Amino acid sequence: MLRAYSPLGFYPSAEFRHPQGCFFVDESLIFSAVRFNPVKLADYDPEREWISPDEIRLLGSMSLAIPEGSGVVYGYPDPVGYWIENGPPDDITREEFMVQAREALCRELRARNSPFWTTVPVPQALGGPRYEFNTVA
């Protein structure tokens, strides 16, 4: 699953890549990619319906990895995630996947015309302002 982030957040300046989830940092588009595992009905919670447990793990681990005294990072994610057509490749950490995912996500965001992006700044890749980075973290 791919998810774009608005420039309203305050982001780490480095990417995070793991076989189960990646956070790609680019000056014009920040996005995450995670392997999606269906949620069992017993684990379903309507308050987090828009975000998967795998994405929560990814964002939580990044936030908790900030050394004490180094400030904060926080994301402002698009509430709509995008499925990767034909499923993700075996290795989502590879540069080729990042490039393809970025292009596909930009196409989807332009085509969708979501009301979300009318209320918050769009990524710079779509004509919005620059992202802010915590360069200490």
pLDDT tens sequence across 46-104? 555 577 778 888 888 888 888 888 888 888 899 888 877 666 678 889 999 999 999 99
**Taking 90 as the threshold, does the pLDDT of residue 130 lie above it?**
yes
How many domains are contained in the chain? 1
Query: For residue 32, what pLDDT is reported?
Result: 94
At 45, the pLDDT band (50, 70, 90 cuts) reads low
Alpha-carbon distance 60 to 25, whole Å? 16
Confidence at residue 4, expressed as pLDDT on a 0 to 100 scale: 94
How far apart (Å, rounded) are the C-alpha atoms in residues 119 and 51? 19
Q: Please say whether the beta carbons of 137 and 23 come within 8 A.
A: no
pLDDT at 20: 86
Copy the structure tokens of residue 81: 């995630």
pLDDT value at position 47? 59
What's the mean pLDDT in 8-23? 89
Q: Are 1 and 34 in contact (CB under 8 A)?
A: yes
Q: What does the pLDDT read at residue 40?
A: 66
Tokens of 5: 């982030």
Whole-number Å distance between alpha carbons of 13 and 51: 23
* Both structure tokens of 72: 């904060």
Structural domain boundaries enclosing 10: 2-134
* Dist. CA 101–CA 1, nearest whole Å: 10
Greater model confidence, 42 or 133: 133
Using a pLDDT cut of 90, give the percent of the chain over it: 31
Q: How far apart are CA 65 and CA 63, in angstroms?
A: 5
Per-residue model confidence (pLDDT) at position 37: 65
Instruction: State the pairing for strand pair 10-12/132-134.
Output: parallel
Is the pLDDT assigned to residue 128 strictly greater than 90? yes
Mean per-residue pLDDT for 31-57? Answer: 73
